[in-house]
Amino acid sequence: MLTESDSPARRLIVPLAKTYIVGLLGLALGCKEQPALGGRGDTAGSTAAQPAPSGDELAYVTNEDSQDLTVIDTRTDSVIATFPVGTRPRGVKVSPDGRTVFVALSGSPKCPPSMPDEQCEKLKADKSKDGIAEVDVAARKVRRVLPGGSDPEQFDVSSDGKRLYIANEDAATASIVDVQKGTIDTTVKVGAEPEGVRVSPDGKIVYVTAESDTSIRVLDAATGAVKARIKVDRRPRDVAFSPDGKRAYATAEVGGTVSVIDVAANRVIATIPFSKDAKPMGVRVSPDGHRVYVATGRGGTVEVIDAATNKIVGSVKVGQRPWGIALTHDGKKLYTANGPSNDVSVVDTDKLTVIATVPVGKIPWGVAIGPAPAGSRK
């Protein structure tokens, strides 16, 4: 069960009726979308008819309570589309070619922070709504829903786009999904309340944080076998690797720290303390490896760590309770999903200033950035 400082307003059951509508773009193309083999078909239609941008990258924001996905043109920092994806969308990733966006969906109940755990446990879960939505970027609609294990929240995608590594929070497991087959290949025990998931730059290992276990499991990416367990600070929420794969950075929400991990040695070599108001959540490393960016949840900021000294060297105030964060490919812009603000802050990473605030859906949770594919520009 999650704590009071988890992603805001997490625990009210939010029903979503499946829709069977062909999107306006699909009609214009004169064809009917069919679910691909594997997974389950889902025909949630697009509500947006605008063309996609001609910019190099698009940002995708999951809105947990409005149950949709917002697409932002990173050239103009403006919304170009919002469309439904499924129940409680949270974790989000873009395929390497940018043609597909994967979104974690969950039929598990949301409970407000004030609700006792025992009361939350009495709420009914609808496991038929669990899964990973596979979104066609050009068509702006869900192509199919892949199995994702129980209550999928965060996950990562392999560099070839063929496998998903998914944290199943309520089952204390991680699921490995074959995207082409649309099946779960492997399920691995990883410790209580797994959340953050990250594939190493070389693709050989996968880190999975376990919140209640205050640890990280190191998985063999090929087999799913547990290779090591790394003890970190209290309630680890997210993790990110340096570009060379030699270091990893794990945020600890309750501990109020970031653990610096020697990847080869499977051990913590430094612990970076944050201010008492900070709740370290999402974390990303700059493309050059020099900086580590950390969203602080209730702290309302993004803190900047110098990777050479492991010291906090900068801070920028963003929206309310930033959780998910993402960087553009060149590292010049950072985007934060601000839950209660219902918006996204765009940060100039050179100046450490907010250069745009973009209204999105209700309770934005995650954000991912990927290349804008050719088909999305028509």
- For 319-346, give the DSSP string: SSSEEEEEE-TTSSEEEEEETTTTEEEE
Tell whether the model's pLDDT for residue 51 goes beyond 50: no
Q: What is the pLDDT of residues 280-289, one digit of tens each?
A: 999 999 999 9
pLDDT of residue 338: 98
Query: Mind listing the pLDDT tens digit for each residue in 193-239?
Result: 999 999 999 999 999 999 999 999 999 999 999 999 999 999 999 99
Distance CA 8, CA 332 (A): 28
Q: Please report which confidence band the pLDDT of residue 252 belongs to, taking 50, 70 and 90 as the band edges.
A: very high
pLDDT of residue 12: 37
Tell me: the pLDDT tens digits for 8-37?
Answer: 334 433 333 333 333 333 333 333 333 333
Q: Is the pLDDT of residue 376 over 90?
A: no
Residue reference for tokens 């669990």 = 130
Residue 125 confidence (pLDDT): 86
pLDDT in tens, 292-314: 999 999 999 999 999 999 999 99
The stretch 309-330 carries a mean pLDDT of: 97
Give CA–CA dist 207/156, Å, rounded: 10
pLDDT of amino acid 47: 39
pLDDT of residue 28: 39
Per residue in 92-141, pLDDT (tens digit) is 999 999 999 999 999 998 876 567 777 877 788 899 999 999 999 999 99
325 pLDDT above the threshold of 70: yes
Q: What is the C-alpha to C-alpha distance for residues 344 and 208, in angstroms, rounded to an integer?
A: 26
Average of per-residue pLDDT across 65-92: 97
Length of the chain: 378
What mean pLDDT comes out for the span 34-51?
Answer: 40
Phi (first) and psi of residue 329, to 5 degrees: -60, -35
Instruction: Evaluate if pTM is beyond 0.95.
Output: no
* 161 torsion bin: left (phi>0), alpha (psi -120 to 50), beta (else): left
